[in-house]
């Protein structure tokens, strides 16, 4: 009992400290439209990057190695006697450069189309694939150094020698950073007067002494090891990918339990500290490669720990036929209890079947798990550029519409618009794919993945960066954004102009150009907006959404090249770019005003359904899945009056049905409308309010007013 | 076969088990003062005006042949008594401020519309509910609709006030998995006053339903100042306790959410001044029901020596 009180009070302390740190960040650094992560503020005499290029930025093996090692050497150390683990991250190193792409490798040939179609090309972006933590846990830092040593003797070109040197230096600088934590912990032990906290610090010091070189042996060592690797990787380039957390930790937990080193309470305490450390994306439950469910006792403890930490948390439950019903029920219980946007759910069936369509087997497909914002990855096996490359399909639509109206050689029609739209979409997709190809060729000279290479299968073995042929697979993601805007626009034009003849092409064009000004403009805007939209079920909008989705899917697939091992995989996702994308698009024929946000990911436009919105949403998003193993997530704003424990089974049945219908990922928010409105007015009043913005969660108070507005509208109109 | 409905509500959670689609039939033979669905009272299509959605474009006033839509102080205004339901205005209101309530559908239309939600039904133990209005005013349509779903293996429920001739019920019950029967009050005079009909047939039909073997729930709307007193609730609970096969007895608290429907339909709201039934009072009545039913059951089970 005493123990439980002491664990709980430590967790409470860590939680409130985390909230204070978030507040500090907002005060000093301002608002930010992204995840809170677990980062803390840099010190006053902050580290500064060391340029190695006339443009003031740093590039390539030398640049990144030199900067990372220098940063690690001066990185603040962080020890809290209440915490089971040492360490926090402080610097976004990849954001501390003047320029993110090495100008020696220009992509000027792509720039025109990138701008024309409003493409987020992802050139120079990083991470967004998953390391294999199991590899790290089995090798330890010394094991990794030994591996580097081993392959240095095999791959001996001068470039490869430099490659291995760089990785060796990086590992040693991480070890040096850990050693400085050991020193600080030992100092704290001397100062600590509370016997329990002192004992905790002693354990912390011993844990770190054990793993500074050797592979972890206990649960505490394993988690601390994951934290070190992860914090280093975050610092390097904001990598936030996790893995199958329960199965990864299970052997350590079971061994500790069998050898009497741990009890369940202590395990939950440690796991809660782990959850508070950073918002890494972890998957729970789900099948192993042979299809057997991986749920074990520690899966439940992780949920209990997340409940205790109850901060911004990214746990995904994999829903499949053989799933553990108890785990599912418990996850729903916590979803409803905390209303804090965790966990979220992924659908095994469609993900596996879809990924297999790329020519992979079921065993591999089941290992492609939820470890990122909207994305799946094969830990340690692939390079993906997940969530980095996006085509603004609404912008492509605008280009096509204007071209049709300007070219008077033929009469406007939706049929003609479609024949103009599709080649533009093809060009946009080709541009995005060319951007990825450019990245694959030159990213090693720009930003080698020095940390993620360490836990990938291939880069060290081959002496090649993961972006440069080092990885086993190249499953390259391109996402389409604004699907609903385009579908609803086509549907509105077809119905109102061609079928009902209630308006004309000229009239619509006039009002688009004047942004639906005046009462006549508003009338036409509502006529268009009230057309049968995507999401209403078997509507004209649904038909267009399917057609556009299929076209996009096929165009992305066409970019694949088996000889180069390039598999391009389509998805529908817009991340937090809905505002930015919207600013580049004028008024659209779905009744959307100029410069307002585009639709969110695969979701229909807000307000699409008069009732039963949850079911309509679940049906609609399931229907437009691209179907090759990447996601088109369902962003679900669940009405809080529905979110009661006695409705848990119903909520669970909606989730399951979405996945049966073909869905891949569900992000859930349960948000009281009055509360969100109040929080929008006075964010400081709700420092602990967490929303799932897209795939990621964030403290509502950390978002910019524009983004808060967007989230509020989405919730109000749901 | 044509039926008149107002709407099909997806994800209905209060009309039987699981996730359900509820089909609201238009037309009712009672006129309960507290009706939550006043748009289902009349059998005929009618016009609803949602003033908040009106952008003042005046297109309706220009086309309305009778002046039902006309300008008042320079703004559009709707006078229902002048409306002849020609629905010309509907065509020109792009803001969807004007809606036509009531459409004609076949049982097959209903089936097709609901079909998309079958997967949700099977995962949640839900199904389809035919409600209203009073669905048994359109007995043949109700029967055929229920039969279609039943044949497809979908759980079917019928929400009825049980005031129609039992002969009609005999026709639909073979296709009904669950009946949701209303019991509004035991006092016959008050029943007549507040619903426009006596409750003799209803009570008789409940006994017949009880004997029929078809699973059923009884539901009572609890309305402030009408039946929200211990005597009335106890009397109903005692009646329910005397039944053999009833599966559930639910109290449905009165709420004011429907008042905007009266406004939009330009109907007088008889309960315009009435407040929501408080949670405390509802809980109190639920206690009474529980006590009465338990007591009665115990009383019956004399051999139970626990
Ligand atoms: S339905 Fe006809 S009569 Fe009634 S308000 Fe509309 S236009 Fe006028
Ligand atoms: S047509 Fe519709 S929006 Fe226009 S004035 Fe009439 S009710 Fe209002």
Give percent of chain A above pLDDT 70.
99
At A640, the pLDDT band (50, 70, 90 cuts) reads confident
H helices present in B216-278, as ranges? 230-241, 259-265
Residues contacting residue B47 through CB under 8 Å, at least 6 positions apart? B78, B80, B83, B85, B87, B89, B90, B98, B99, B100, B101
Q: Which residues of A254-270 are buried (b: 16+ CB within 10 A; e: fewer)?
A: eebbeeeebeeebbbbb
Per-residue pLDDT at A607: 86
Are A384 and A129 in contact by the 8 Å Cβ rule? The answer is yes
C-alpha count within 13 angstroms, C-beta hemisphere, residue A334: 25
Residue A222 half-sphere exposure toward CB, CA atoms < 13 A: 23
DSSP annotation of B98: E
Of B12, B13, B119, the CB nearest to A657: B119
- The residue ranges of every structural domain in chain A are 105-131+385-601, 241-371+602-718
Q: Is the pLDDT of residue B276 over 50?
A: yes
Give A421's contacts (C-beta < 8 A, 6+ positions apart).
A396, A397, A400, A486
pLDDT digits (tens, 9 = 90+) for A484-521: 999 999 999 999 999 999 999 999 999 999 999 999 99
Average pLDDT over residues B60-84: 96
Whether residue B300 is predicted with pLDDT greater than 50 in this model: the reply is no
> Cβ A519–B55 below 8 Å, yes or no?
yes
Helix or strand run (H / E) with residue A510:
helix A505-513
- Contacting A with CB below 8 Å, chain B residues are 9-13, 18-19, 21, 55-57, 59, 94-96, 116-117, 119-120, 123-124
Burial level of A143, CB count in 10 A (0-12/13-18/19+)? middle
Other CB atoms within 10 Å distance of the CB of residue A46: 12
pLDDT of amino acid A2: 46
- A100 contacts A125 by C-beta, under 8 angstroms: yes
Give the residue, A312 or B104, on which the prediction is more confident. Answer: B104
For residues B156 and B180, the answer to whether their CB atoms sit within 8 Å is no
CA angle B150-B155-B157, nearest 5°? 95
Residue identifier of the C-alpha nearest atom 1 of ligand 2: B93
Q: Which of residues A161 and A35 earns the better pLDDT score?
A: A161
Mutation test residue for ligand 1: of B44, B46, B47, B48, the one with most atoms within 8 Å of CB:
B47
Kindly state the tokens that stand for A173.
């600088």
pLDDT tops 80 at residue A314: yes
Tell me: pLDDT of A589 over 80: yes
Least confident segment among A223-227, A641-645, B104-108, B293-297: B293-297
CA B203 – ligand 2 centroid, Å: 47
Query: Using DSSP, how many helices (H) and how many strands (E) does chain B show?
Result: 11, 12
Q: Which domains does chain B have, with CATH numbers?
A: 3-42+102-297 (3.20.20.70), 46-101 (3.30.70.20)
H helix or E strand, kind and range, residue A225: helix A219-237
Residue B302 has pLDDT above 50, yes or no: no
Average pLDDT of span A650-661: 97
Cα–Cα distance list, A356 to A13, A118, B33 (Å):
46, 31, 60
Which are the contacts of A61, defined by CB distance < 8 A and separation ≥ 6?
A: A162, A163, A166, A444, A448, A450
> Probe ligand 1: pick from B48, B62, B68, B70, max atoms within 8 Å of CB?
B68
Q: Report how far Cα A322 is from the mean position of its chain's Cα atoms.
A: 26
Q: Work out the pLDDT band at B157, boundaries 50, 70, 90.
A: very high
Predicted confidence band of residue B306 (pLDDT cuts 50, 70, 90)? very low
pLDDT digits (tens, 9 = 90+) for A662-700: 999 999 988 888 888 888 888 888 878 888 877 777 788
What six digits make up the tokens of B126? 């839900």
pLDDT-wise least confident of A97-111, A499-513, A606-620, B260-274 = A606-620
Q: What is the mean pLDDT of residues A355-370?
A: 98
- Ligand 1 center–CA B76 separation, angstroms: 13
**B59 C-beta closer than 6 A to ligand 2:** yes
Ligand 2 centroid distance, CA of A512 (Å): 22
Q: Where are the alpha helices (DSSP H) in A558-672?
A: 578-583, 613-623, 648-660
Please choose, from the candidates A572, A578, A508, A500, the residue with its C-alpha nearest in 3D space to the C-alpha of residue A540: A500
Query: What whole-number distance in Å separates Cα of residue A559 and Cα of residue A201?
Result: 54
A400's tokens: 């096509």
pLDDT at A471 over 80: yes
Over residues B3-12, mean pLDDT? 95
Mutate to test the interface with A, among B19, B52, B61 (most CBs of A within 10 A): B19
Q: What is the largest CA-CA distance in chain A?
A: 86
ipTM of the assembly? Answer: 0.92
Q: Which residues contact B91 (CB under 8 A, 6 or more apart)?
A: B63
Mean pLDDT of A172-194: 97
Is the predicted pLDDT of residue A76 greater than 50, yes or no? yes
Q: What is residue B296's predicted lDDT score, i.e. its pLDDT?
A: 73
**pLDDT level of residue A612 (50, 70, 90 thresholds):** low
The rounded Å distance from CA B97 to ligand 2 centre is: 6
Q: What is the pLDDT of residue B225?
A: 93
The model's pTM:
0.95
The DSSP code for A455 is G
Q: Which residues of A lie closer than 8 Å to B, measured between beta carbons? A: 502, 519-520, 522-524, 526-527, 530, 537-538, 611-612, 614-616, 618-619, 642, 647, 649-650, 653-654, 656-657, 660-661
Tokens (6 digits) for A413: 């029609």
Tell me how far apart the alpha carbons of residues B217 and B210 are, in angstroms, rounded to a whole number: 10
What is the Rg, in whole angstroms, of the alpha carbon atoms belonging to chain A? 26
Q: Please report residues of A whose CB lies closer than 8 A to that of B119.
A: 657, 660-661
Q: What is the DSSP string of A564-596?
A: GTEEEEEEE--TTTHHHHHHT---BTTTBPTTP
pLDDT higher for B219 or B302?
A: B219
């Amino acid at each position: 009992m005493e123990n439980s009180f002491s664990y709980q009070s430590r967790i409470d302390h860590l939680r409130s400290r985390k909230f204070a740190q978030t507040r500090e960040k907002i005060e000093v650094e301002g608002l930010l439209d992204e995840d809170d992560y677990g980062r803390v503020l840099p010190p006053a005499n902050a580290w500064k990057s060391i340029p190695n290029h006339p443009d003031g930025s740093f590039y390539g093996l030398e640049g990144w190695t030199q900067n990372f090692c220098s940063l690690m050497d001066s990185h603040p150390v962080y020890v809290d006697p209440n915490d089971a683990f040492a360490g926090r991250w402080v610097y976004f190193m990849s954001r501390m450069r003047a320029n993110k792409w090495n100008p020696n490798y220009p992509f000027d040939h792509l720039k025109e189309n990138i701008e024309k179609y409003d493409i987020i090309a992802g050139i120079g972006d990083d991470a967004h694939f998953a390391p294999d933590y199991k590899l790290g846990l089995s090798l330890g830092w010394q094991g990794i150094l030994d591996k580097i040593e081993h392959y240095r003797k095999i791959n001996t070109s001068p470039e490869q020698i430099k490659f291995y040197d760089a990785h060796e230096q990086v590992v040693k600088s991480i070890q040096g950073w850990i050693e400085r934590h050991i020193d600080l912990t030992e100092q704290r032990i001397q100062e600590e007067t509370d016997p329990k906290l002192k004992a905790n610090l002693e354990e912390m010091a011993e844990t770190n002494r054990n793993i500074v070189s050797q592979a972890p042996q206990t649960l505490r060592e394993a988690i601390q090891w994951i934290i070190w690797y992860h914090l280093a990787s975050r610092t390097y380039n904001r990598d936030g990918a996790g893995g199958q957390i329960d199965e990864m930790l299970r052997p350590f937990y079971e061994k500790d339990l069998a050898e009497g080193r741990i009890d369940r309470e202590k395990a939950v305490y440690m796991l809660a500290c782990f959850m508070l450390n950073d918002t890494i994306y972890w998957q729970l439950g789900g099948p192993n490669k042979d299809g057997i469910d991986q749920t074990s006792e520690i899966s439940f403890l992780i949920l209990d720990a997340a409940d205790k930490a109850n901060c911004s948390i990214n746990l995904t439950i994999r829903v499949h036929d053989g799933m553990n019903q108890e785990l599912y029920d418990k996850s729903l219980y916590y979803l409803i209890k905390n209303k804090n946007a965790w966990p979220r759910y992924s659908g095994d069936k469609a993900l596996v079947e879809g990924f297999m369509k790329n020519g992979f087997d079921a065993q591999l497909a089941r290992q492609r798990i939820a470890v990122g914002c909207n994305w799946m990855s094969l830990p340690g096996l692939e390079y993906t550029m997940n969530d980095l490359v996006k085509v603004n399909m609404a912008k492509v639509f605008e280009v096509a519409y204007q071209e049709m109206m300007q070219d008077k050689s033929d009469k406007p029609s939706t049929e003609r618009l479609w024949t103009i739209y599709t080649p533009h979409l093809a060009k946009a997709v080709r541009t995005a794919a060319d951007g990825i190809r450019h990245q694959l060729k030159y990213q090693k000279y720009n930003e080698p993945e020095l940390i993620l290479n360490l836990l990938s299968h291939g880069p060290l073995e081959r002496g090649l960066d993961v972006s440069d042929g080092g990885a086993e697979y190249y499953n390259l993601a391109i996402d389409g954004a604004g699907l609903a805007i385009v579908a609803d626009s086509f549907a509105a034009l077809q119905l109102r102009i061609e079928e009902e003849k209630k308006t004309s092409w000229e009239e619509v064009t006039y009002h688009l150009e004047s942004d639906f000004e005046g009462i006549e403009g508003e009338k036409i805007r509502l006529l268009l907006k009230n057309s049968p939209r995507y999401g209403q079920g078997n509507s004209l909008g649904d038909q267009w959404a399917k057609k556009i989705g299929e076209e996009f899917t096929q165009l992305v697939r066409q970019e694949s090249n088996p000889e180069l091992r390039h598999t391009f995989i389509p998805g529908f996702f817009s991340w937090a770019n809905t505002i930015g994308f919207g600013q580049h698009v004028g008024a659209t024929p779905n009744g959307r005003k100029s410069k307002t946000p585009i639709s969110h990911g695969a979701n229909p436009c807000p307000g699409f359904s008069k009732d039963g919105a949850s079911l309509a949403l679940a049906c609609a998003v399931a229907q437009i899945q691209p179907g090759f193993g990447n996601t088109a997530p369902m962003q679900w704003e669940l009405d809080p009056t529905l979110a009661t424990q006695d409705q848990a089974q119903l909520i669970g049945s909606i989730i399951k049905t979405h996945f049966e219908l073909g869905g891949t990922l569900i992000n859930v928010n349960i948000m009281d409308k009055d509360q969100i409105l109040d929080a929008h007015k006075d964010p400081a009043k709700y420092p602990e309010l967490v929303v799932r913005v897209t795939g990621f969660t964030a403290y509502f108070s950390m978002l910019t007013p524009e983004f808060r507005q967007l989230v509020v509208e989405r919730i109000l109109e749901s | 076969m044509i039926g008149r409905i107002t709407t099909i509500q997806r994800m209905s959670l209060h009309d039987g088990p699981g996730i359900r689609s509820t089909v609201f039939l238009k037309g009712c033979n009672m006129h309960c003062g507290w009706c939550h669905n006043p748009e289902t009272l009349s059998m005929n299509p009618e016009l609803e005006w949602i003033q908040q959605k009106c952008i003042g474009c005046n297109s309706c006033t220009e086309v309305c042949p009778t002046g039902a839509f006309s300008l008042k102080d320079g703004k559009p205004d709707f006078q229902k008594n002048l409306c002849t339901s020609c629905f010309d205005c509907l065509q020109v209101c792009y803001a969807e401020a004007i809606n036509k309530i009531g459409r004609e559908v076949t049982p097959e239309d209903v089936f097709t519309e609901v079909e998309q939600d079958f997967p949700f039904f099977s995962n949640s133990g839900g199904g389809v509910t035919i409600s209203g209005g009073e669905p048994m005013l359109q007995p043949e349509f109700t029967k055929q609709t229920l039969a279609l779903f039943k044949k497809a293996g979908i759980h079917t429920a019928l929400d009825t006030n049980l005031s129609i001739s039992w002969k009609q019920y005999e026709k639909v019950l073979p296709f009904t998995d669950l009946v949701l029967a209303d019991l509004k009050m035991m006092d016959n005079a008050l029943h007549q006053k507040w619903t426009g009909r006596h409750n003799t047939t209803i009570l008789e039909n409940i006994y017949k339903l009880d004997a029929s073997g078809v699973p059923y729930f009884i539901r009572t709307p609890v309305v402030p100042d009408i039946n929200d007193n211990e005597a009335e609730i106890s009397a109903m609970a005692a009646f329910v306790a005397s039944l053999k096969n009833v599966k559930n007895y639910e109290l449905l608290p009165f709420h004011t959410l429907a008042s905007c429907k009266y406004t939009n339909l330009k109907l007088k709201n008889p309960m315009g001044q009435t407040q929501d039934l408080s949670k405390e009072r509802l809980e109190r009545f639920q206690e009474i029901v529980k006590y009465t039913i338990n007591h009665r059951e115990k009383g019956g089970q004399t051999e139970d020596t626990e």
